[in-house]
Amino acid sequence: MNRIIAIAAIWVALVALPWWLPLIGGYTALGSKVLIYAIATMGLNVLLGFTGGLSFGQAAYFGLGAYGAGMTLKYLAPSTPLAILIGTLVGGAAATLLGPLVMRRRGIYFAMITIAIGQLFYFIMVRWNEVTGGEDGLAGFSRQDIHFGPWLYRLDETNFYYLVLLGFTVAVAVMWMVLQSPLGHTFVAIRENRRRIEFLGVRVERYIWAAFAIAGFITAFAGTLNALLFNFTSPQDLHWILSGNFVIMIVLGGMRSFFGPLIGVIIFVVAQDYLSSITGNWMTFIGMIFVLIVLLFPRGVLGILARRVEVR
């Protein structure tokens, strides 16, 4: 019951965000960015926190979604829903195709292969100048207002935020249902004791593949929204540094809890926004955040809170 009240309160706060965020010095686009990163990291956490697959190349699928959406708008058709659909499919399909290459690996090796595969897409986007804009990134497209028959939904900054919030709500509902299903329970079982599950006759590799694909589709979906938010995407959106940022956001919030990544994203994105406005050395501070979290708060915010409750 408490949980439902908490979730309802969070959702009301998110709906009201365009009113209260500017009052405390934020801006609505920052709220959109937080929600977009929350979709991406919660999607990644299905694989990382719930299945135990150490993916360190998730930005690749985020970026593929972003480029897919941007290119659709630029070259194919001026339709926002189509851009979101195609971007999500491109990124998700790439993850689904590459899944079999990583699903057999474990631990360190899984991480290494996912990082390295991610860089393939990075270099394609950097070098395929004529189409992708190369190092400068893909510009020259903009999100288009959505028409529902006679109705027109203008995508200004606030309305776009509500589109992102809708996407966030849908993505969260989908992930929640997946994790509550037998599929989701199998994911957790694999994380807890892979060998035992294997002996029970479960084809573990297929489930890891499924988790990889689901995480890929959801991060790609977040990527499409990110491209639409800025009307721009660049190779930085597929770089391994972003992959690492995704993972640290998850750990910071608490990788064992469903809403942990959301907390981590809020702290990380706000900190990054603030640090980059006051110092040129923000990268050093982000690096220190990494080191401190690993050494001092490996369970993350929600992990610590959960432990407090248990101790009581």
Partner 1 sequence: MQLLLFNAFNGLIQGVFYALMALGLALILSLNSVINMAHGGFLVIGAYLAYALSPYLGFWGALVAGPILAAAIGLAVERLLIRPIYKRTDPLYSLLLTFGLALIVEDMTRTIWGPQGLPLEIPDVINSPVSEVYFFVTGYRLFVIVITTAAVVGLYLLLRYTLLGIRIRAGINDLETTAALGVNIYRLRALNFGFGCLFAGLSGVLAAGVLGLTPPMGNSLIMPSFVAIIIGGVGSLFGAVVGGLIIGLAAGITTTYYPAASEAVIYLMMLIVLVVRPRGLFGEEGLFE
* Chain contacts with partner 1 (rule: CB under 8 A): 54, 56, 101, 104-109, 111-113, 115-117, 119-120, 123-124, 126-129, 240-241, 244, 247-248, 251, 280-281, 283-284, 286-291, 293-295, 298
Q: To the nearest whole angstrom, how small is the minimum distance from the Cβ of residue 3 to partner 1? A: 27
Q: To the nearest whole angstrom, how small is the minimum distance from the Cβ of residue 191 to partner 1? A: 10
Nearer to partner 1, 104 or 147 (CB): 104
Q: To the nearest whole angstrom, how small is the minimum distance from the Cβ of residue 284 to partner 1? A: 4
Nearer to partner 1, 263 or 286 (CB): 286
Nearer to partner 1, 93 or 105 (CB): 105
Nearer to partner 1, 119 or 158 (CB): 119
Is the Cβ–Cβ distance between 222 and 43 less than 8 Å?
yes
Q: To the nearest whole angstrom, how small is the minimum distance from the Cβ of residue 290 to partner 1? A: 3
Nearer to partner 1, 11 or 297 (CB): 297
Q: To the nearest whole angstrom, how small is the minimum distance from the Cβ of residue 263 to partner 1? A: 17
